[in-house]
Amino acid sequence: MKAIFRAVKRFNSVYVFSLIFMMPILVMQTPVAYAGEKSPYESGYNHGCNDAKISDPSDRYINQPEKGPSFHTDEFMNGYNDGYNACSGDASNMSGSDSNSLSKNDRFRVIVTFIEGPDRNVDDARVYIQEHPQYGIPGGTDSGFIDLIDAFYNDAPYTGIWEDEITMPSDLIDAGEEFHVCIEDTKKDATLACYELENGSESEPERIRIDFNDFP
């Protein structure tokens, strides 16, 4: 009986010693587990890349209810902009006949964000580059107009934010050169306001907000 007890005791000691010896090895070989959640930048990048492939601005993620820039962090929007720029390719909304065959690196882009407000005095509008009026939103000088009522109110719930872009050849406006983005009432054939911008970088799009809460 004592012999059996000593054998069991010796077995337990060996088992415990072996287990202690193996634990560091087991710990070292266990891979680190991640929850799989994307960072705000990664999430924004993916959404931006997807939006770059959607030709109709109203179908883009950033123009959906409660998905506009004001609903996201700066980190998300940095990722969104980088993703949009990286994936624009041939899916970008081209403006003007000369833009159709341009590569991504040969395009100059102006992102225009419209914000609804009580000062809006126009329904049908066109936004264009004053120095090169053949380039604008929705397109060239004879391309029609933006129905702002439809742009702002075609989704529910209402967000009051709509975004689109002007695209043109990059060699028309030099880095550091000033240019103007104007909004025109196409019904009245009248320019309502012009905004002065500067081409600060050839690789990044310029941005402008047309805010109808404080409209000229």
**Domain boundary assignment for the chain:** 38-91, 94-216
Distance between CA 74 and CA 78 in Å, rounded? Answer: 6
Quote the pLDDT of residue 119: 93
Q: Give bridge partners of residue 110 from the DSSP assignment.
A: 166, 206
Q: Distance between terminal CA atoms of the chain?
A: 101
Burial of residue 77 (number of CB atoms within 10 Å: 0-12, 13-18, 19+)? buried
Helices (H), the chain: 2-29, 40-52, 74-87, 148-153
Task: Give me the tens of pLDDT residue by residue for the chain, a chain 216 residues long.
Answer: 444 444 434 444 444 444 444 444 333 333 333 334 568 887 888 888 888 888 777 788 888 888 888 788 888 888 888 778 777 654 334 444 445 445 566 788 999 999 999 999 999 999 999 998 888 998 766 667 899 999 998 877 888 999 999 998 888 998 899 999 999 999 998 999 999 999 986 678 999 999 999 998
Burial of residue 184 (number of CB atoms within 10 Å: 0-12, 13-18, 19+)? buried
Which class does domain 94-216 fall in? mainly beta
Quote the pLDDT of residue 62: 84
Quote the pLDDT of residue 14: 44
Quote the pLDDT of residue 193: 94
Distance between CA 68 and CA 161 in Å, rounded? Answer: 7
Task: State the pairing for strand pair 132-137/124-129.
Answer: antiparallel
Query: What's this model's pTM, rounded to 2 decimal places?
Result: 0.55
